[in-house]
């Protein structure tokens, strides 16, 4: 892949993300207050930073598992074909589950994942997304909790990548090509 030069403009600061996670965890703890152990399922790879901060802030007994789904590869646009690259290790039948997504864009990935997980009969299945791009939605889906709604921009940072780069940025930034 030939790389076009780009810069990253900060959109959402690390401080804003931390404050929003604290708010969301209060709501999630209320929703799951009766559970004996919440299974938090991170959608790899983009959610790994978000899920780490989320579970540390949650005042609930949690079990963490991961599922890797892909519809992007190294592209900037979704292929709309969702592939499961890594499945859960544990069982979720009869258990309370929270799916953690980095960004809901077209909605195809989250729709596919929820269909798969619902077929495994969890007791309660909810979703949280750090970012939501409602203007790009093609599937009829919305996360139960959303960190931030953003415009149709290509973003990186806080676990979200562009061709496997920029995941380590502590903020969410907009990619702007310079040529």
CATH code: domain of residue 91: 3.40.50.2020
Question: How high is the pLDDT of residue 169?
Answer: 97
Q: What is the pLDDT of residues 12-34, one digit of tens each?
A: 999 999 999 999 999 999 999 99
pTM score, two decimals? 0.91
Within a domain: 120: yes
Q: Answer yes or no: is 84 within a domain.
A: yes
Phi, psi of 151 (to 5 degrees): -75, 175
The DSSP H or E segment spanning 23 is helix 14-31
Whether 157 is covered by a domain: the verdict is yes
Encode pLDDT of 68-108 as tens digits: 987 755 555 555 677 889 999 999 999 999 999 999 999 99
Catalytic residue among 87, 105, 140, 152: 105
Is residue 1 a part of any domain in this protein?
no
Count up the domains in the chain and report the number: 1
Binned at pLDDT 50, 70 and 90, residue 4 comes out as confident
User: Which domain, by its residues, includes 113?
Assistant: 6-177
Q: Quick: pLDDT tens for 37-55.
A: 999 999 998 999 999 999 9
- The question of whether 105 is a catalytic residue gets the answer yes
What's the pLDDT tens digit per position in 118-132? 999 999 999 999 999
Q: Are 144 and 125 in contact (CB under 8 A)?
A: no
């Amino acid at each position: 892949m030939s790389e076009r030069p780009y810069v990253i403009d900060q959109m959402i600061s690390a401080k804003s993300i931390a404050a929003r996670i604290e708010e969301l965890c209060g709501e999630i703890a209320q929703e799951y207050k009766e559970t004996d152990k919440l299974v938090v399922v991170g959608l790899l790879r983009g959610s790994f930073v978000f899920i780490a901060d989320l579970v540390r802030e949650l005042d609930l007994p949690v079990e963490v598992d991961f599922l890797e789904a892909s519809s992007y590869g190294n592209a900037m646009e979704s292929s709309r074909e969702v592939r499961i690259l890594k499945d859960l290790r544990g069982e979720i039948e009869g258990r309370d589950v929270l799916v953690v997504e980095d960004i809901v864009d077209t909605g195809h990935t989250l729709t596919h994942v929820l269909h798969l997980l619902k077929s495994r009969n969890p007791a309660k299945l909810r979703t949280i997304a750090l970012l939501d791009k409602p203007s790009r939605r093609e599937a009829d889906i919305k996360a139960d909790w959303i960190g931030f709604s953003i415009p149709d921009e290509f973003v990186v940072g806080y676990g979200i990548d562009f061709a496997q780069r920029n995941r380590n940025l502590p903020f969410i930034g907009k990619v702007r090509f310079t040529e």
